[in-house]
């Protein structure tokens, strides 16, 4: 019998996790304290770095403005669509690639190398080309937003499928499991943890992609709001909008991390 | 031995339920194994053909505990997988209980692997119930049967634990319970204790004998360890040569029930040395030199 060490040893539990949370809390307190000290010093003006109070007021104001809620809704629709497409298509294609790659490792390597190159290419430079080709509407922002996320999902799902153990496959065969049974009882639970991790990374990339697209090819959405506040030099609005988007990203990231931790305990 | 595992409870395996979808029943079912003219080859990446087993023939009567020994690479595990219907043979036939085996038949024969192969996301109970779940047995029945077999292997108080919470020996017990839960006529065991420390390994062997004594299914047990092979078996089959075939079959006539005290008797040593000499001769014949590769067994490795 071989002892299998979990590949997910970075998932923290117990004391390490406690110290990480403490570090995160301390880091937030330090940033707020530094911000406060900066605003009361003469090093910067309130135009450059707004005070804590005015920023907080901006956030409240931003969240209570009908226009902001509309911007939030626009961004949310785009994010949900981009994330859903990246997830479904990425997992589906990745699983197929991983399974096919068990028999044709060369094909899998070539496709993964191509996807890796596409991931490393800054897609921002293609945004004007995308606008020229397909215009600048809702779906264009979705397509731009999902472009990196779908690659990460595909690569991770492929790796997850490829690593579903030979032992488990032999076990399934020895009990005459149908393909359907193998998929739901062995394949999906085996692959779930790396897929959840990929979802988290994909989500961050999708948020970045959609925000960037909104900044340049939109007249609504949180990305557009940030861009507009920056060009109008409305610093409290700019900082407030940035904080709202960042808080949303951090909350979603924490949610996925919670799932990863739960599954990590379950898996290891 | 690990906790909660020192004695076997008195409960027996429940019989298959009304569904009858699984389990040919250990008691009274025919677990005879007949292998004739089995030849197995594989083709490597350079399209070269390698014959692993050639004209392997043997028979194991129902209810016998047989062990298979042989050097590394002699095809012991391959033989077991063919008996389990996982691989096809180039030629030859395998019959278990009079039925020809050409594909996995978990009602009739189950395999316990060297790696316990437990699914880490399932509790012990759900791991053991997996073969019944696959066979479509209802939830209540499969849980009852999994619980009964876990009691039988001494893990009645570990049902809700996950594999990561178990020791190596306990994981192998769960794997054995999973193999037994469908009440197979034949249990195939592929070096199930190879990764355990020596003391646990022999204690597990002793417990396996107690379990087998109650169930009387046919067991075919592959091992590298000569002492283990002799201690457990009614019959030791030696795979010799390259490609391998059954070189000799030794009937082990020590009385049962056996305990570990048997292993210090001169008769035990004589029999073990006889097998050792046979394997050594075969090795020298095959390659001109002698080396005996052991997995998890330092005892014979020094000889």
Reported as a single tens digit per residue, the pLDDT across A240-265 is 888 888 988 989 888 888 888 877 76
Closest by Cα among B178, B115, B94, B116 to B142: B178
Query: Cβ distance B202 to B258 under 8 Å?
Result: no
Q: What does the pLDDT look like over B161-205, one tens digit per residue?
A: 999 889 888 999 999 999 989 989 999 999 988 888 888 888 889
Confidence at residue A236, expressed as pLDDT on a 0 to 100 scale: 78
Q: Which of B117, B134, B162 sits opposite A176 (nearest CB)?
A: B134
Does A180 contact chain B (CB < 8 Å)? no
In a domain, B270, yes or no: yes
Q: Which of A168, A185, A268 sits opposite B164 (nearest CB)?
A: A268
Edge-to-edge order in the sheet of strand B91-96: B49-60, B33-43, B91-96, B99-100
pLDDT confidence tier of residue A24, bands split at 50, 70 and 90: confident
Residues in B closer than 8 angstroms to A268, CB to CB, are 120, 164
Note whether B115 contacts A1, CB cutoff 8 Å: yes
In a domain, B146, yes or no: no
Mutate to test the interface with A, among B112, B114, B121 (most CBs of A within 10 A): B121
Q: Does residue A42 surpass a pLDDT of 80?
A: no
Does A175 contact chain B (CB < 8 Å)? yes
- Would you mind telling me the total number of residues written for chain B in this entry? 303
Q: Which of B113, B119, B135 sits opposite A189 (nearest CB)?
A: B119
Query: Cβ distance A259 to A194 under 8 Å?
Result: no
What DSSP line would sit under B272-298, residue for residue?
HHHHHHHHHHHHHHHHSS-----SS-H
Mutate to test the interface with A, among B134, B163, B173, B178 (most CBs of A within 10 A): B134
Residues 6 or more apart from B154 whose CB is under 8 A from it? B4, B5, B6, B7, B8, B9, B173, B207
pLDDT confidence tier of residue B302, bands split at 50, 70 and 90: very low
User: Could you tell me the CATH number of the domain that includes residue B93?
Assistant: 3.40.50.300
Closest by Cα among B232, B206, B230 to B219: B232
pLDDT confidence tier of residue B30, bands split at 50, 70 and 90: confident
Instruction: List the domain range (segments joined by +) for residue B261.
Output: 33-53+61-119+185-301
Residue in B with minimal Cα distance to A188: B121
Would you tell me how many other CB atoms lie within 10 Å of the CB of residue B14? 14
Note whether B172 contacts A177, CB cutoff 8 Å: no
Note whether B120 contacts A267, CB cutoff 8 Å: yes
Residues in A closer than 8 angstroms to B106, CB to CB, are 174-176
Task: Name residue, tokens 């043979």.
Answer: B89
Q: Does residue B278 surpass a pLDDT of 70?
A: yes
Q: Distance, in angstroms, between B113 CA and closest chain A CA?
A: 8
Query: How many structural domains is chain B composed of?
Result: 1
Q: Distance, in angstroms, between A232 CA and closest chain B CA?
A: 54
Q: What does the pLDDT look like over A149-198, one tens digit per residue?
A: 899 999 999 988 887 888 889 999 999 999 999 999 999 988 888 888 89
Q: Distance, in angstroms, between B37 CA and closest chain A CA?
A: 23
Residue in A with minimal Cα distance to B112: A171
Confidence at residue A14, expressed as pLDDT on a 0 to 100 scale: 57
Instruction: Tell me which H or E stretch contains A186.
Output: none
Q: What does the pLDDT look like over B36-55, one tens digit per residue?
A: 999 988 887 788 888 889 89
Q: Which of A1, A189, A192 sits opposite B194 (nearest CB)?
A: A1
Residue in A with minimal Cα distance to B115: A1
Burial class (CB in 10 A: 0-12, 13-18, 19+), A78: buried
Residues in B closer than 8 angstroms to A163, CB to CB, are none
Note whether A167 contacts B164, CB cutoff 8 Å: no
Confidence at residue A9, expressed as pLDDT on a 0 to 100 scale: 45
Confidence at residue A174, expressed as pLDDT on a 0 to 100 scale: 92
Q: Does residue A15 surpass a pLDDT of 70?
A: no
Does A41 contact chain B (CB < 8 Å)? no
Closest by Cα among B3, B55, B266, B26 to B148: B26
**Crossing angle of the two packed helices B139-152 and B168-180, in degrees rounded to 10:** 130
Q: Distance, in angstroms, between B183 CA and closest chain A CA?
A: 13
In a domain, B293, yes or no: yes
In a domain, B8, yes or no: no
pLDDT confidence tier of residue B111, bands split at 50, 70 and 90: very high
Query: Cβ distance A226 to A210 under 8 Å?
Result: no
Please compute the mean of the pLDDT values over residues B266-280 and round it to a whole number: 89
Q: Distance, in angstroms, between A268 CA and closest chain B CA?
A: 6
pLDDT confidence tier of residue A139, bands split at 50, 70 and 90: confident
Note whether A176 contacts B133, CB cutoff 8 Å: no
Q: Distance, in angstroms, between A5 CA and closest chain B CA?
A: 10
Task: Measure the CA–CA gap between B231 and B234, rounded to whole angstroms.
Answer: 9
Note whether A167 contacts B117, CB cutoff 8 Å: yes
Query: Cβ distance A139 to A130 under 8 Å?
Result: no
Confidence at residue B131, expressed as pLDDT on a 0 to 100 scale: 94
What DSSP line would sit under B75-129, residue for residue?
SHHHHHHHHTTSS--SEEEEEETTEE-SS--TTTEEEE-SS----TTS-HHHHHH
In a domain, B161, yes or no: no
Which of A191-195, B22-26, B121-125, B239-243 holds the top average pLDDT? B121-125
Mutate to test the interface with A, among B115, B175, B188, B192 (most CBs of A within 10 A): B115
In a domain, B16, yes or no: no
Task: Measure the CA–CA gap between A75 and A42, rounded to whole angstroms.
Answer: 37
Note whether B195 contacts A1, CB cutoff 8 Å: yes
The encoded tokens of residue A82 equal 């981009």
Q: What does the pLDDT look like over B53-107, one tens digit per residue?
A: 989 999 999 999 999 998 888 889 999 999 999 988 889 999 998 899 989 998 8
Q: Does residue B7 surpass a pLDDT of 50?
A: no
Confidence at residue A143, expressed as pLDDT on a 0 to 100 scale: 86
Does A169 contact chain B (CB < 8 Å)? no
Q: Distance, in angstroms, between A266 CA and closest chain B CA?
A: 5
SS3 of B186, please? strand
What is the phi/psi pair of residue A122, to 5°?
-70, 115
In a domain, B144, yes or no: no
Confidence at residue B128, expressed as pLDDT on a 0 to 100 scale: 95
Closest by Cα among A210, A121, A102 to A161: A102
In a domain, B124, yes or no: no
Note whether B172 contacts A1, CB cutoff 8 Å: yes
Residues in A closer than 8 angstroms to B135, CB to CB, are 175
Residues in B closer than 8 angstroms to A189, CB to CB, are 119, 121
Percent residues over pLDDT 70 in chain B: 83
Confidence at residue A102, expressed as pLDDT on a 0 to 100 scale: 82
Dihedral in degrees, nearest 10, Cα atoms A231, A237, A242, A247: -170
pLDDT confidence tier of residue B156, bands split at 50, 70 and 90: confident
Q: What residues does B41 pair with on adjacent strands?
A: B51
Edge-to-edge order in the sheet of strand B186-190: B109-112, B186-190, B218-222, B65-69, B235-240, B245-251
Domains and CATH numbers, chain A: 53-267 (1.10.3720.10)
Mutate to test the interface with B, among A104, A174, A188 (most CBs of B within 10 A): A174
């Amino acid at each position: 019998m071989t002892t299998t060490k979990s590949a997910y040893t970075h998932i923290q539990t117990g004391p390490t996790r406690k110290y990480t949370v403490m570090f995160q809390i301390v880091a937030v307190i330090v940033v707020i304290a530094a911000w406060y000290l900066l605003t009361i010093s003469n090093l910067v003006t309130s135009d450059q770095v707004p005070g804590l109070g005015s920023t907080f007021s901006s956030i409240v104001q931003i969240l209570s403005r009908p226009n902001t809620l509309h911007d939030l809704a626009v961004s949310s629709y785009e994010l949900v669509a981009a994330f859903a497409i990246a997830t479904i298509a990425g997992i589906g294609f990745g699983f197929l690639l991983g399974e096919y790659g068990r028999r044709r490792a060369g094909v899998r390597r070539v496709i993964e190398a191509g996807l890796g190159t596409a991931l490393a290419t800054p897609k921002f430079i293609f945004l004007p080309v995308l606008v020229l080709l397909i215009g600048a509407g809702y779906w264009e922002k979705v397509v731009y937003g999902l472009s990196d996320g779908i690659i990460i999902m595909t690569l991770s799902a492929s790796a997850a499928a490829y690593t579903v153990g030979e032992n488990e496959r032999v076990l399934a065969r020895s009990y005459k499991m149908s393909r359907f049974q193998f998929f739901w009882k062995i394949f999906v639970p085996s692959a779930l943890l790396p897929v959840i991790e990929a979802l988290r990374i994909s989500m961050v990339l999708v948020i970045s992609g959609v925000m960037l697209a909104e900044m340049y090819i939109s007249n609504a959405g949180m990305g557009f709001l940030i861009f507009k506040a920056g060009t109008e030099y409305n610093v409290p609005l700019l900082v407030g909008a940035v904080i709202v988007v960042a808080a949303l990203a951090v909350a979603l990231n924490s949610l996925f991390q919670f799932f990863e931790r739960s599954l990590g305990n379950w898996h290891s | 031995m690990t906790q909660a595992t020192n004695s076997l409870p008195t409960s027996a395996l429940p019989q298959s339920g009304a569904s009858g979808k699984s389990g040919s029943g250990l008691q009274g079912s025919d677990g005879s194994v007949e292998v004739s003219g089995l030849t197995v080859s594989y083709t490597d990446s350079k399209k070269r053909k390698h014959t692993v087993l050639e004209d392997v023939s043997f028979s194991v009567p129902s209810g016998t505990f047989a062990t298979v020994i042989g050097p590394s690479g002699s095809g012991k595990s391959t033989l077991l997988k063919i008996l389990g219907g996982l691989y096809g043979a180039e030629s030859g036939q395998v019959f278990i209980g009079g039925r020809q085996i050409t594909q996995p038949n978990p009602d009739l024969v189950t395999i316990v692997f060297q790696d316990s192969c437990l699914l880490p996301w399932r509790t012990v109970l759900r791991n053991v119930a997996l073969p019944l779940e696959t066979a479509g047995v209802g939830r209540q029945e499969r849980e009852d049967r999994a619980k009964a077999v876990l009691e039988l292997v001494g893990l009645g108080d570990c049902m809700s634990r996950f594999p990561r919470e178990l020791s190596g020996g306990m994981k192998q017990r769960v794997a054995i319970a999973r193999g037994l839960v469908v009440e197979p006529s034949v249990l195939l065991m592929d070096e199930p204790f190879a990764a355990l420390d020596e003391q646990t390994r022999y204690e597990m062997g002793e417990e396996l004998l107690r379990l087998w004594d109650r169930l009387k299914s046919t067991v075919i047990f592959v091992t590298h360890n000569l002492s283990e092979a002799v201690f457990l078996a009614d019959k030791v089959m030696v795979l010799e040569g390259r490609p391998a075939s059954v070189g000799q079959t030794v009937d082990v006539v020590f009385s049962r029930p056996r305990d570990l005290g048997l292993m210090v008797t001169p008769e035990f040593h004589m029999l073990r040395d006889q097998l050792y000499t046979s394997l050594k001769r075969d090795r020298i014949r095959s390659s001109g030199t002698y080396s005996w590769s052991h997995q998890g067994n330092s005892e014979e490795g020094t000889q």
